Structure 1
Amino acid sequence: MRSLVLVGHGSHLNSESAAAVYKYAELLRSQGLFDEVVEGYWKEEPSLRQVLRTCTYTDVTIIPMFISEGYFTETVIPRELGLGYQGVVPPQGVARTLGGRTVRYTLPYGVHPAMGGVILERAREVLPDAGGEDTALIIIGHGTTKNENSNKVVHQNAELLRAQGIFSEVHALFLDEEPKVTGWREKVKARRVVMVPFFASEGWHTLETIPEDLGLEGTVTVFSGQAEGLPEGTGEQTVYYGKPVGTHPAVADVIVQLAEEARGASVTGGDRAPEHRAAWDAFTALAASESGVRMGEIMVTPHGGLFEVRHALDEGRSSETLTTLVTPDGLRDHTRLTEGGEHRPVHTLRNLRRGWRAVLSAGDLQRAIHSLYPAVIEEGYALHTHSLRSTPWPTTARRQTGRYGRVQKATPEQVEHVAEEVCGGCLKTRVWAGQRLTQTFFGGVPGAIPCAEACTFLVAEIREEVAGKRGQGSGHSH
């Protein structure tokens, strides 16, 4: 029995950042190769600090859904998971025993050798006859001066494809380091140029930054005139702009290979984690009772051998007036946005949209509730049974690195000021800040939900407060 965890970056600002991870999780669930597939995020929920608690089984494989090695895969993710490991991840991955679980942490999928083939597939999507002596390939990486490993995989794939001789030229160019993609016309001699972004998802850079910086007008753009540095007579060049490699369906096969390689000598798998089983057995029993259970803004009631989930404020409304959802993924997608279409990075904010009902089997109920309120069942039950361990703010602050390290300078007054504003709209009680919570929804109090540790959204807001930028529209920093 195995749990597979796909870890993405996520975003506090837009819902599209997590889309690729959700897509691959759904695809892998449909293949039935793992007993459970769970998503976890740095900037969304379930957070990296929560995700192991939400895993059903004691055998857990964690795959970073990142396109290259770097700061997040070598520092942030291992730190937040509590692996007790920092630095370059070896080819066989890192294995640890944490809280009764065997946890295997792998390299990011983007460094797998099979990704060269994915780049080629993306190139041939926009130019079916891509190749030949008059066609160049440009692999566009992000690049950073913070970690030399982040660009290594782009250069490796360029070398691999160059050696295959399919294209007359293969270049590795970058957004934020040399050689920069903005200077491509001074380097490329071929008349046909295929550009493939080596990015994990379709987002700000692939949809806006790259097209705007390069003057691309869509999938195909013609550049006329002689480019500086090129041989006389080169003239017109046509650019074919592909989709990012990280959204290609073949990535699912790469994930499976990574997971199997990380499994190593273990062939028996794990069992259900006792504390996880106890929490969900208790919740399911409440949901199956005649009156059902209320938790946060939702109510769950038995419904002819199934379970119905709806917004508590829609109690009594005719089913015909509500949008009926029948899968956990449909419920998740419907409730990731507010009524006004705004992104909900923190699921326990009091802005869950109304007007829906989900009718689910007992088998789908757990994943549906997990989608609505990640880790709330596990942490709520832990408090209910007096076993929840909270993490005070100073401990959370000391764990931050990089640009988030500045939160360590926040005064208690600053932390409380920001928390009152940010957490004021959340259902949770800040037990990490010393607030008392003697009962939970397991005891019949729907809004009694514990917050064991400051979330990444609050950490980001405190960072802005310390920098004096809070409320000024900090752009993509969140």
Structure 2
Amino acid sequence: MDTRFRSATLILAIHGSTEDTRPEEAGNSLAASIRSKGIFGEVKAAFHKHTPLLLDSLTQANGKLVIIVPMLMSKGYFTEKVFPDAFQLQATPGVAFPWVSIFEDKKVIYAGPIGLHPGMESLVIESADRVLKEHPFPVKVSLSNASIALIGHGTSRHVKSRESVDKLAAKLAMNSEKCQEVRTFFIEEEPAIEAIYEWNTPSKNVVVVPFMLADGPHAAQDIPVALGQTEKELKRSLKQGTSTWRNPTERHEKRIWISPPVGLSPLLPDLILEYISSEISGLLMD
């Protein structure tokens, strides 16, 4: 990594949740992992939904160079509108990332969402493979004998919200030796998660991979409920602090595993650093 990063502040910009502490915990853990490498002068996790807030993290940054990496999985409303507004940065939709701005006496480099990184393919494969290996009962299944259902958020507010997920699925589908098939499903768009049961897969084995940062309400609640988990079972699991989905569960002639979100992959910290090194080094001040 460029030695000039040693005086810079890195801000991981995260949506967060007021209902669940797990996104905050995941963000803080990720920041700590990158901080431990000693590459940046300062590494912060900041949140849209709760403290420490995005603008506060920028105002209080010690570095004269601030690098902001949106921990979002696609271009769209939050990446191009909500987060820049929260940071009081001048958004330039239609202009390729990263965006460069001046905030007070700081040079701010606003990177593209981490979900656009081509290395996300390896995180999806790692997440899917890991859940199969961790849950071999009642039958041991290799990823090459399973299909991947990649779950994105999606939103009607921005036409690009699903673009990165669809492109990633197409790229994964080209690597036929990794898994049988790959398709995308969405929380707020079509095809909905429930359509997984209508998918004519080569085998009954399907690994659901949330293309999300953390095991928050979408991953831990919305996806299991969409796949048939009852509200009663869900509430009991949440109260007991246990998994909200039993891996694997058989329903409608499918055997389904739900993996951890890609944002919890141990590969993510190095992927973020690679992204910064390749995309931002050329924009550093002398």
Distance 1:248 1:88 in 2: 30
Q: Who is 1:105 aligned against?
A: 110
SS in 2 for 1:78: helix
Aligned counterpart for 1:69 among listed residues 63, 71, 75 = 75
1:39 alignment partner in structure 2: 45
Q: Which residue of 2 aligns with 1:177?
A: 189
**Cα displacement (A) at 1:73:** 0.9
Residue 214 of structure 2 corresponds to 201
**2:247 paired residue among 191, 206, 219:** 219
Q: How far off is 1:164 after superposition? A: 0.8
The alignment status of 1:253 with 2:270, answered yes or no, reads yes
- With over 3 angstroms needed to count, the CA separation of the structure-2 counterparts of 1:89 and 1:107, relative to structure 1, is farther
Structure 2 residue aligned with 1:141: 152
State the identity as a percent.
31
Select 1:153's aligned residue among 145, 164, 168: 164
Match for 2:174 among 122, 147, 163?
Answer: 163
Partner of 1:53: 59
Task: Tell me if the contact between 2:92 and 2:99 (Cα under 8 Å) persists in the aligned partners.
Answer: no
Q: Deviations over 1:215-271 (max 9, x none)?
A: 2541211125xxxxxxxxxxx431121111011121111211232222324264xxx
Tell me, in whole angstroms, the C-alpha distance in 1 between the residues paired with 2:86 and 2:283.
26
Larger Rg: 1
Structure 1 letter corresponding to 2:251: F
Is 1:239 matched up with 2:267? no
> 1:172: Cα distance to partner?
0.8
C-alpha distance in 2, partners of 1:191/1:52? 48
Unaligned runs of 5+ in 1: 225-235, 269-478
**Whole-angstrom CA distance in 1 between matches of 2:122 and 2:87:** 31
Deviation at 1:46, TM superposition (A): 2.7
Query: 2:44, 2:93 → 1: CA distance?
Result: 25
CA contact (8 A) 1:75 1:86 kept: no
Structure 2 partner of 1:24: 30
Mapped partners of 2:280, 2:11: distance in 1: 13
Change (3 A) 1:265 1:14: closer
Amino acid at match of 2:157: K
- Partner amino acid for 1:221? T
Q: Does 1:262 align with 2:274?
A: no
> Could you tell me how far 1:15 is from its partner in structure 2?
2.6
Relative to 1, partners in 2 of residues 1:144 and 1:197: Cα closer, same or farther, differing over 3 Å?
same
Q: Does 1:130 align with 2:142?
A: yes
Deviation at 1:37, TM superposition (A): 0.5
SS at match of 1:84: coil
| Distance in 2, Cα, partners of 1:127 & 1:13 | 29
Change (3 A) 1:215 1:27: same
Any idea what SS the aligned residue of 2:13 has? strand
TM-score (norm 1): 0.51
Count, aligned residues: 255
CA distance in 2, matches of 1:140, 1:80: 27
Kept in 1: contact 2:14–2:71 (CA 8 A): yes
Deviation by residue 1:384-440 (Cα, 9 ceiling, x = unmatched): xxxxxxxxxxxxxxxxxxxxxxxxxxxxxxxxxxxxxxxxxxxxxxxxxxxxxxxxx
- SS state of the match for residue 57, structure 1? coil
Q: In the TM superposition, what is the alpha-carbon distance from 1:135 to its structure 2 partner?
A: 2.0
Mapped to 2, the partners of 1:120 and 1:12 lie a distance apart of 30
Shift of 1:123: 0.6
Describe the shift of the 1:13–1:172 C-alpha distance in structure 2 as closer, same or farther (beyond 3 A). Answer: closer
Mapped contact 1:10–1:42 kept (Cα < 8 A)? yes
Cα shift at 1:131: 3.4
Supply the distance in 1 between the matched residues of 2:264 and 2:254 (Cα, whole angstroms): 27
| Structure-2 separation of matches of 1:16 and 1:137 | 24
After superposition, give the CA deviation of every residue in 1:151-183 in whole Å (9 maximum; x if it has no partner).
Answer: 111111110110011322211111211111201
Does structure 2 retain, via aligned residues, the 8 Å contact 1:169–1:188? no
State the 1:17 CA deviation: 2.8
Q: 1:14 to 1:241 in 2, by over 3 A?
A: closer
- Give the Cα–Cα distance (whole angstroms) in 2 for the partners of residues 135 and 223 of structure 1: 15
Q: Aligned residue for 1:320? A: none
Distance across 1 between alignment mates of 2:79 and 2:95? 8
Q: CA deviation at 1:19?
A: 1.6
Q: Amino acid of the residue matched to residue 237 of structure 1? A: K
Name whichever of 246-255 and 11-20 sits farther off. 11-20
> 4+ residue runs of structure 1 moved beyond 4 angstroms?
none
Tell me what 1:94 maps to: 99
Given that 1:104 and 1:263 are in contact with CA atoms closer than 8 Å, whether structure 2 keeps it comes out as no
Offset, 1:89: 5.4
- Does the 8 Å contact 1:2/1:58 carry over to 2? yes
**Aligned with 1:194: secondary structure?**
strand
State the shift of 1:88 in Å: 4.4
CA distance in 2 between counterparts of 1:211 and 1:264 reads: 43
- CA change 1:178–1:265 in 2 (3 A) is closer
